Amino acid sequence: MEKYKLRKNNTILLYDYSINFSIKDNVKLEKKRFNMNKNKIKKRGQLSVDFVLAILFLMLVSLFIYYNALTFTNNTTDALIVDRMYSIADTFENYAILSYTKNETIVLKLKPIGDLGYVIHVSNKIINVSYKTLIVFTPTDNGVIISGSNIETAPVDIGKNISITVTIDKNNITICKELTINIT
C-alpha cells in the first residue's frame, strides 16, 4: 500500500487528501524546512548546554548541603553529649548540696549516656558509670561523703572539683566544674 500517489495533473493524493503544488512552491517549501531545522538545531544545542549547567549547579548545591548536614549531625551529637555531661555534673552537685542543707542521706541513680559509659572524678574518688549506678550522699559537718558500688579511690585528689570523662570514637571528652561543697 502506497502512502501517496502522484497524479498527472501535479496533484498528490495523500490519505485521501489532495494537494496541488508546483515546482517553485516545492523549492520554497524545502528552503523553509531547511532554515527551520537549522534554527531548531541551534536552539536544541543551547537547551542542552543550559540543561547541563543546571544539573551541575544542582549537584554543587546538593554536595554543599550534604556536607553541611553531615558535619552538623556529628557536631550536634558531640554537643548533646557534652550538654548531658554538664547536666550530670550539675545534678551531682545539686544532690550533694541538698543532702548537706537538709541533713539527710540521698541516693542518686546514674545511668550511661545512651550506650556510652563515663567516669566521674570527684575530689579523691572515681566513679565508673557503665550501667545503672547508685551513689549515696551522706551529710557531715564540713560537707558530704559519697559511697556506692562502683566507687574507687583515685590516685590524685582534685579538691573541690568534679571531672567527667567520656570516650567517643577513641577521643576523650572531659568537662570540669568547681563545686561549692566539700565532697569526700
- Give the CA distances from residue 24 to residues 6, 20, 40, 127, in Å, rounded to whole numbers and listed in that order: 17, 12, 25, 102
pLDDT value at position 132?
Answer: 92
Burial of 126 (0-12, 13-18, 19+ CB in 10 A): middle
Does residue 125 have a pLDDT over 70? yes
pLDDT value at position 100?
Answer: 93
**The model's pTM:** 0.61
| Residue bearing the bigger pLDDT, 172 or 104 | 104
Reported as a single tens digit per residue, the pLDDT across 148-169 is: 888 999 998 888 889 898 988 7
Please state the rounded mean pLDDT for residues 58-62: 91
- Give the CA distances from residue 101 to residues 42, 123, 179, in Å, rounded to whole numbers and listed in that order: 86, 20, 15
Reported as a single tens digit per residue, the pLDDT across 94-109 is: 999 999 999 999 999 9
Query: In whole numbers, what is the pLDDT of the chain averaged over residues?
Result: 79
